[in-house]
């Protein structure tokens, strides 16, 4: 098209269309813009140290490890930062983790396309029934907590919430920040006269599972109308955002908003989060130690690895300073790897997988990566239960004894 | 002929035979390529239909006219999302068509020559920006502006229309439409500009010689001639708006309810698929999501075919003045 018009304009250069000179100018301008952007970004990243290489030292292993193979896992986005830190650090095998969401992690392990699946919610009875023989073991590998985040620019103090109030806000019973119930638990705080913008997860999520099961335990109306699950039937007039990071971003950029995310998203994005009243009556602001103590004090009766974990809860722990909305996150692994995956799955690979699982739950190895990333190290009772489960993983009926490589320390 | 033949050593009939075979292979190959694309479309529809079978069998036509989408109760109706898709796309076009046409006319008719190319290329650059970047810009920059300035003003002055009922949050149909408008402007502008630039000088000169003003030249000589190109640009823009997922997802508020007004939270077919696909409540919701995808495909096809019919009518009306 343009070549045709150019030939007509060449006879009458004072009107219409581009001439050759200006088209060159355009290209020069475009090149100049690209060069400037690249230089700015380049110096910025260089200054930020992105091009500096880091090195990790691997200590000699304590026992004989089989040749390294490649392991793959998929699932939870909540636990992804920790999983990625583990796969970068772990040297005895190559571990790839795809952060695709808990639901996808469960479908992937059901379809046997990965070596392990990760989810923040335990398997529901229906999901458990869908898993082919020989079935999977549930291994809690880390822990976290869900915190209420909010954006109130005029409020400097940390807000206090109760389970009742959080449920009422998400049920749209409390619609304004200066509500009397909210004011009653926050004496001395000047709450703005502003409508609450309620933000929840738009995708199905383990975080929603944890938060909605907590609200079910705190509020009878919630329990009977919305219940709990990876997604619930949110009332109209609320805002949905995708992923923990989506909720964080929406709350951060929207004044008068409230949301709920895993604590590491609140801390790494420095967004305000409130304290929550625990069963002992104290308002507790979540941190690594009071979540860890909550999981210890909740002391849930852990079923065997192959059992039903759907009702395992570490919420509402009785301790005076325990944070009430704590949760375990899980990996799922087939109990007999040879039978599950068939002959192409070597015993060496099965051994690699068992070693990796034993390494991540080890208190002086994998678990030491938790705190730097704001995850909660497992309580010793949970680790012992995990080790029993891992010892129960077989290869065509043969027992696999885990050999934990010593990478840390 | 023989004197001009650059390969005199080859007999003419021999060359013909070889070139005939080459042509046959060429025709076969291009035919396979074309058939492959058709087969892809058929396979796509087949896979979508197959995946949505259980939802089609159980829900039947209720899927197409009910307005409740509730994964917990396992009840699915596509209407809120269909309305969301059509509403955001049409509002975005209402915003982007006048702006794009204005920009295209300015760049081809009024702008000084030194300005045309740099600005034109910048606009084309805008068309190449990934949609997620627009979405992010929408969430960080546009949402606060919509919430604090534009939506309260619209409520105050145009509240009587009933289009702006509710608390302005900034995450709603209107913001999604504005983001979509910003995304479709470069597409529509670039194609309209090319199409307007292709209008023969004789058309404009004829109008000018009759004493027409700039506006009259544009209105009576340029736009009618460039009409089919402009419509093609609008259809491309509409296609982008209908299927856009991530940018809309970030700013629409993701709520599975019918719109109460332009400033209520909502969802489109593509956003609900993106949100729920990986972490669906179960195989039945998955099936319903795939059926929603099928509906979106059908809607896109219908709109495209409709646009082609309009284009064909305009081209007929232009009496053979094809570009």
Q: Residue B269 sits in a domain of what CATH number?
A: 1.10.3720.10
Q: Does the pLDDT value for residue A11 go beyond 90?
A: no
B62 within some domain:
no
B171 within some domain:
yes
Q: Does the pLDDT value for residue B159 go beyond 80?
A: yes
CB contact under 8 A, B121 and A22: no
pLDDT band at A34 (very low <50, low <70, confident <90, very high): confident
Opening angle at CA A188, ends A187 and A194, nearest 5: 85
CB contact under 8 A, A103 and B274: no
Question: The whole model's pTM is what?
Answer: 0.76
How many domains, chain B? 1
Looking at beta carbons, which residues of chain B come within 8 Å of A80?
A: none
Would you give the DSSP letter of residue A40?
Answer: H
Distance (Å, whole) CA A44 – CA A52 = 13
Structure confidence by residue, pLDDT tens digits, B173-201: 999 999 999 999 999 999 999 999 999 98
Q: What is the pLDDT, as a whole number, of residue B7?
A: 58
Q: What is the pLDDT, as a whole number, of residue B9?
A: 58
Helices and strands in chain A, H and E counts:
15, 13
Q: What is the pLDDT, as a whole number, of residue B292?
A: 94
Q: Does the pLDDT value for residue A331 go beyond 90?
A: yes
Cα torsion B217, B222, B223, B224: sign: positive
B178 within some domain:
yes
Q: What is the pLDDT, as a whole number, of residue A55?
A: 43
A37-46, A80-89, B33-42: least confident range? A37-46
pLDDT band at A406 (very low <50, low <70, confident <90, very high): confident
CB contact under 8 A, A18 and B200: no
Task: Tell me the average pLDDT across B309-314.
Answer: 81
Structure confidence by residue, pLDDT tens digits, B103-128: 999 999 888 888 888 888 888 888 88
Write out the two tokens for A13: 């250069």
Q: What is the pLDDT, as a whole number, of residue A1?
A: 39
Where do runs of H (alpha helix) occur along B128-268?
131-137, 143-145, 151-158, 173-197, 201-209, 214-216, 223-243, 246-251
pLDDT band at A4 (very low <50, low <70, confident <90, very high): very low
B182 within some domain:
yes
B188 within some domain:
yes
Distance (Å, whole) CA B252 – CA A241 = 9
Q: What is the pLDDT, as a whole number, of residue B285?
A: 84
Q: Which of B70, B144, B264 sits opposite A253 (nearest CB)?
A: B144
B9 within some domain:
no
B83 within some domain:
yes
- The shortest C-alpha distance from A403 to chain B (Å) reads 35
CB contact under 8 A, A229 and B72: yes
Write out the two tokens for B279: 């972490």
What are residue B119's phi and psi, to 5 degrees?
-65, -40
- Report the mean per-residue pLDDT for chain B: 87
Residues 6+ apart with CB under 8 A from A374: A263, A264, A267, A268, A288
| B274 in A contact zone (CB under 8 Å) | yes
- A233 vs A160, higher pLDDT: A160
- Return the SS3 of B51: helix
Q: What is the pLDDT, as a whole number, of residue A16?
A: 44
Contact A110, A132 (CB under 8 A): yes
A26-35, A201-210, B107-116, B239-248: least confident range? A26-35
Question: Taking chain B, what is the end-to-end CA distance rounded to the nearest angstrom?
Answer: 34
Instruction: Report the percent of chain A where pLDDT is more than 90.
Output: 52
pLDDT band at A43 (very low <50, low <70, confident <90, very high): confident
What count of other Cβ atoms lies within 10 Å of the Cβ of residue B281? 21
Most confident of A98-102, A211-215, B4-8: A211-215
B185 within some domain:
yes
Residue of B nearest to A21 (CA): B114
Contact A394, A336 (CB under 8 A): yes
- A291 vs B15, higher pLDDT: A291
- Chain B interface, mutation test: which of A118, A232, A241, most B Cβ atoms within 10 Å? A241
Residues 6+ apart with CB under 8 A from B156: none
pLDDT band at A60 (very low <50, low <70, confident <90, very high): very low
Name which of B190, B96, B105 is nearest B134 in CA terms.
B96
Judge residue B67's burial from the number of C-beta atoms within 10 Å of its C-beta, 0-12 exposed, 13-18 middle, 19 or more buried: middle
Beta bridge partners of A140: A330
Across the beta sheet with A326-334, what order do the strands follow? A94-99, A70-75, A116-119, A326-334, A136-151, A257-262, A197-201, A239-241
Residues in chain B: 323
Residue of B nearest to A229 (CA): B72
Residues 6+ apart with CB under 8 A from B48: B290, B291, B293, B294, B297
Is the backbone peptide bond immediately before B313 cis, with ω within 30 degrees of 0? no
What count of other Cβ atoms lies within 10 Å of the Cβ of residue A401? 11
Q: Which of A25, A100, A204 sits opposite B117 (nearest CB)?
A: A25
- Could you tell me the CA-to-CA distances from A243 to A97, B275, B284, B285 in Å, in that order? 18, 9, 22, 19
Contact A322, A294 (CB under 8 A): yes
ipTM score above 0.90: no
Looking at beta carbons, which residues of chain B come within 8 Å of A195?
A: 167
What DSSP element (H or E) covers A137? Answer: strand A136-151
Structure confidence by residue, pLDDT tens digits, A249-274: 899 988 899 999 999 889 889 899 99
pLDDT band at B313 (very low <50, low <70, confident <90, very high): confident
CB contact under 8 A, A204 and B280: yes
| B253 in A contact zone (CB under 8 Å) | yes
Structure confidence by residue, pLDDT tens digits, B200-220: 989 889 999 999 898 999 998
- Return the SS3 of B112: coil
Q: Does the pLDDT value for residue A52 go beyond 70?
A: no
Q: Which domain holds residue B241?
A: 75-279+300-317
CB contact under 8 A, A242 and B253: no
Task: Tell me the average pLDDT across B215-238.
Answer: 90
Q: What is the pLDDT, as a whole number, of residue A274?
A: 95
- Report the mean per-residue pLDDT for chain A: 86
Q: What is the pLDDT, as a whole number, of residue A49?
A: 54
Would you give the DSSP letter of residue A158?
Answer: P
Task: Tell me the average pLDDT across A307-327.
Answer: 92
- A150 vs A13, higher pLDDT: A150
- The DSSP annotation for B68-91 comes to --BTTTTB---HHHHHHHHHHHHH
| B163 in A contact zone (CB under 8 Å) | no
């Amino acid at each position: 098209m343009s070549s045709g018009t150019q030939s007509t304009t060449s006879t009458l250069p004072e009107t219409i269309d581009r001439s050759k000179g200006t088209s060159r100018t355009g290209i020069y301008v475009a090149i100049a813009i690209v060069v400037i952007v690249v230089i700015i970004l380049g110096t910025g990243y260089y200054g930020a140290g992105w091009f500096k290489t880091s090195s990790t030292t691997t200590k000699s292993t304590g026992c004989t490890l089989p040749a390294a193979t490649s392991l793959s896992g998929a699932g939870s986005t909540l636990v992804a930062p920790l999983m990625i830190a583990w796969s970068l650090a772990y040297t005895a095998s190559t571990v790839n983790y795809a952060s695709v969401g808990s639901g996808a992690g469960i479908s992937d392990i059901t379809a046997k396309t990965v070596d392990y699946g990760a989810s923040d919610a335990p398997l529901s009875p229906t999901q458990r029934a869908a898993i082919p023989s020989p079935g999977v073991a549930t291994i809690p590998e880390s822990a976290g907590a869900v915190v209420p985040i909010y954006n109130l620019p005029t409020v400097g103090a940390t807000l206090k919430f109760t389970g009742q109030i959080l449920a009422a806000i998400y049920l749209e019973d409390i619609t304004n920040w200066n509500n009397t119930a909210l004011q009653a638990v926050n004496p001395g705080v000047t709450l703005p006269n502003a409508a609450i913008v309620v933000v929840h997860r738009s995708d199905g999520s383990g975080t929603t599972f944890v938060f909605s099961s907590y609200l079910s335990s705190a509020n009878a109306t919630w329990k009977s109308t919305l219940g709990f699950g990876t997604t619930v039937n949110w009332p109209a007039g609320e805002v949905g955002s995708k992923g923990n990071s989506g909720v964080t971003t929406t709350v951060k950029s929207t004044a008068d908003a409230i949301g709920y995310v895993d604590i590491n998203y609140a801390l790494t994005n420095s967004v305000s989060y409130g304290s929550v009243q625990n069963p002992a009556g104290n308002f507790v602001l979540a941190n690594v130690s009071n979540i860890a103590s909550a999981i210890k004090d909740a002391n849930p009766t852990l079923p065997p690895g192959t059992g039903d974990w759907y009702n395992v809860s570490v919420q509402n722990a009785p301790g005076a300073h325990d944070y009430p909305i704590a949760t375990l996150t899980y990996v799922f692994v087939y109990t007999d790897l040879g039978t599950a995956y068939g002959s192409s799955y070597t015993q060496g690979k099965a051994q690699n997988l068992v070693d990796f699982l034993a390494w991540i739950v080890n208190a002086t190895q994998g678990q030491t990566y938790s705190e730097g990333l704001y995850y909660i190290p497992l309580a010793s009772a949970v680790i012992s239960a995990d080790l029993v489960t891992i010892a129960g993983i077989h290869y065509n009926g043969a027992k696999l004894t885990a050999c934990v490589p010593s990478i840390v320390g | 002929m023989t004197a001009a033949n650059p390969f005199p050593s080859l007999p003419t009939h021999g060359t013909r035979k070889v070139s005939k075979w080459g042509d046959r292979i060429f025709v076969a190959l291009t035919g396979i390529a074309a058939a492959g694309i058709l087969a892809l479309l058929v396979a796509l529809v087949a896979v979508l239909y197959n995946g949505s079978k259980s939802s089609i069998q159980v829900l039947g036509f209720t899927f197409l006219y009910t307005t409740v989408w509730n994964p917990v109760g396992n009840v699915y109706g596509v209407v809120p999302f269909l309305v969301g898709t059509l509403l955001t796309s049409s509002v975005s076009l209402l915003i982007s068509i006048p702006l794009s046409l204005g920009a295209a006319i300015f760049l081809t008719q009024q702008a000084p020559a030194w300005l045309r190319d740099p600005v034109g290329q910048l606009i084309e650059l805008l068309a190449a920006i990934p949609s997620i970047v627009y979405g992010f810009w929408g969430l960080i920059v546009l949402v606060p502006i919509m919430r604090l300035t534009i939506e309260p003003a619209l409520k105050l002055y145009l509240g009587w229309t009933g289009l702006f009922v509710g608390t302005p949050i900034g995450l709603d149909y209107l913001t999604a439409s504005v983001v979509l408008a910003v995304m479709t402007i470069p597409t529509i502008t670039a194609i309209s500009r090319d199409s307007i630039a292709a209008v023969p000088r004789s058309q404009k000169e004829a109008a000018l010689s009759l004493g027409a003003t700039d506006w009259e030249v544009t209105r009576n000589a340029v736009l009618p001639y460039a009409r089919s190109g402009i419509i093609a640009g609008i259809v491309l823009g509409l296609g982008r708006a209908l299927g856009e997922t991530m940018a809309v997802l970030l700013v629409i508020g993701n709520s599975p309810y019918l719109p109460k007004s332009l400033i209520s939270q909502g969802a489109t077919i593509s956003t609900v698929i993106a949100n729920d696909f990986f972490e669906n409540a179960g195989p039945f919701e998955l099936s319903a999501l795939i059926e929603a995808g099928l509906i979106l495909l059908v809607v896109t096809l219908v709109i495209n075919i409709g646009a082609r019919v309009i284009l064909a009518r305009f081209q007929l009306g232009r009496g053979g003045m094809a570009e």
